[in-house]
């Protein structure tokens, strides 16, 4: 399941806080801040989609993520590779290294990461 851009923005705030009340979430938005009703609607949709849950404290709710950031973005990268690169990680890597204007140092860092992963396998 996927989040909309607005939901992703709110989810990033929640991942950063780990758990938060509505006032904390609103305070984390840059100006101009969204309306409380807008954030409440996003929270409801995200709860219905199974991305977040909450604990009730009287009339207040403390929201927390059910999905880890790493897992969410890993799923998106894998879908990107499947949909745009014929399910080929090497085609994706080739595109990424050629089209993102990485410096020599960044490319060497990537090479080190790959070498380390190769050693583990």
Structural domain boundaries in the chain: 5-65, 69-120
Q: Which of 43, 41, 23 is nearest to 33 (CA)?
A: 23
Per-residue pLDDT of the chain (121 residues; tens, 9 = 90+): 789 999 999 999 999 999 999 999 999 999 999 999 999 999 999 999 999 999 999 999 999 999 999 999 998 888 889 998 998 888 888 888 888 888 889 989 988 988 898 898 8
Contact assessment for residue 92 and residue 81, using Cβ atoms and an 8 Å cutoff: yes
Q: How far is CA 54 from CA 30, 42, 96, 115, in A?
A: 23, 13, 38, 42
Q: What is residue 1's predicted lDDT score, i.e. its pLDDT?
A: 74
Integer Cα distance of 104 and 28 in angstroms: 36
Q: Which CATH number is associated with domain 5-65?
A: 1.10.10.10
Q: β-pairing, 52-57 with 20-21?
A: unpaired
């Amino acid at each position: 399941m996927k989040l909309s851009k607005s939901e992703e923005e709110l989810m990033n705030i929640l991942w950063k806080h780990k758990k938060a009340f509505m006032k904390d979430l609103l305070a984390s938005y840059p100006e101009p801040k969204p309306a409380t009703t807008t954030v409440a609607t996003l929270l409801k949709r995200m709860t219905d989609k199974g991305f977040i849950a909450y604990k009730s404290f009287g009339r207040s709710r403390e929201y927390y993520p059910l999905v880890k950031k790493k897992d969410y973005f890993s799923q998106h990268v894998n879908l990107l590779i499947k949909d745009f690169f014929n399910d080929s990680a090497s085609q994706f890597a080739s595109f990424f290294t050629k089209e993102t204007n990485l410096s020599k140092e960044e490319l060497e860092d990537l090479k080190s990461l790959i070498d380390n992963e190769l050693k583990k396998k």
